[in-house]
Structure formats: C-alpha cells, structure tokens
Amino acid sequence: MNRNRNTKEILVESFKELLLNIPFGKITVKMITDKAGVIRTTFYNYFKDKYEIFEYILEEELFIVLDALIENDLESEALKMIFTYFDKNRSFYKEAFKTVGQNSFEEILSKKIFKLCKKLIEKHRLKIDIENEALTIDSIAKYYTIGIVYVLKMWLLDYYDEKITSEEIYDAYIYLITHNILQILE
C-alpha cells in the first residue's frame, strides 16, 4: 500500500513540475508518466485524467485541513489559510488558473469552495433578518464562492500593480465582504 501511495505522489509531483514549465493544454499523460518513470497505464490506476490531479492536490493539500479547522470551530483560520496556501504555492496556481474551458482549474476550485461554503452555512445556519426567496443556501454559497475564487485568480495572476501579501489580500477580502458598495463610497 505504501508503494501505491508513493507512485501516486510521484505522479502528482511530476505533474506539478511539468505545469511550472509547460502550459496545461500541452501536458499529456505520457509526459507525466515519463517524468514519473512509470508506464502510461499506471497513471490510470490513480487518475482518470490530468484534471483529476488538480482535484487530488486541492483535496490532499488544502481541503482536508480546511475541513478539520471548520470541525474544530476555527472558521476564520480556515478562510485565512486559503489565502496563505495559495500564496505559498503561488507559481503552481498561477499556471493552474491559466487553464480554461471545460474542467478548468477555476471550475474545479469553484466546486470545492462551493462545498466548503455550504458546509459552513449548514453548520451554523443562516442569520437572515429578511424574508427573501433569493437568499437560499445554494445562492449564498455561490456568491461567496465566486468572490473567493475571483480574488484568488486576480491576485495570483498579478492583476494588481504591486506584490500583495496573503495577509493584505485576506484583509481586503474580509473588508469587502463585510461592507456593501454604498458603505465604501464617499
């Protein structure tokens, strides 16, 4: 079993190294397996395609930890960890966000963030003062998902003028989600 885990991790590391040097669309399963030193069919023992590697990496490196933090009532730390994690792995995720189309990294990340947001809402229930059918668990989870993913993408793809730290982008995100647009206008 340890051998199987090692092979899977070798495939993941091979993929990560390739993505840093080659656009996602040009990376093939054969390239991943050649770099990992295994035969092509070995790849399919672990992953159905190269997109599934993104899901695996996110789950193993980030979402397992986020789930544990949430289970231990450390929701603020979990949210902050998202930004810290992406900063620590900036080069890889900068390239990952460049994948487009069906099964893009952004789509894969959005699905995982959406599940996380729903988990938070279901754990704590909603505190909504108004009766409004538009404010469903799914619509609220989607709203926050879009915000988090968009901020991460713009930050990692350097759409800001200067290098912004994970703490600064986290603080900016918190500020924006706690104030409506009219509150930040003069």
What are the structural domains, with CATH classification, of the chain?
A: 1-47 (1.10.10.60), 50-184 (1.10.357)
Q: Are 164 and 158 in contact (CB under 8 A)?
A: no
Output the pLDDT for position 126: 77
Round to whole Å and give the CA distance between 75 and 124.
11
Answer whether residue 2 shows pLDDT above 50: no
Cα 88 to Cα 12, 55, 69, 106: the distances in Å are: 17, 18, 19, 18
Answer whether residue 1 shows pLDDT above 60: no
* Residue 160 binned pLDDT confidence (cut-offs 50, 70, 90): low
Share above pLDDT 70 across residues of the chain, in percent, rounded to a whole number: 95
Region 29-42 average pLDDT? 96
Q: Are 109 and 151 in contact (CB under 8 A)?
A: no
Output the pLDDT for position 57: 97
Round to whole Å and give the CA distance between 67 and 60.
11
The pTM score is: 0.89
* Residue 186 binned pLDDT confidence (cut-offs 50, 70, 90): confident
- What is the number of other CB atoms lying within 10 angstroms of the CB of residue 160? 12
Residues 154, 159, 160, 165: is their CA dihedral positive or negative? Answer: positive
Output the pLDDT for position 102: 84
Output the pLDDT for position 127: 79
Q: Work out the mean pLDDT of the chain and round it to a whole number.
A: 92
Digit-coded pLDDT (tens) for 128-156 = 777 888 888 899 999 999 999 999 999 99
**Residues across the chain:** 186
Digit-coded pLDDT (tens) for 60-107 = 999 999 999 999 999 999 999 999 999 999 999 999 999 988 889 999
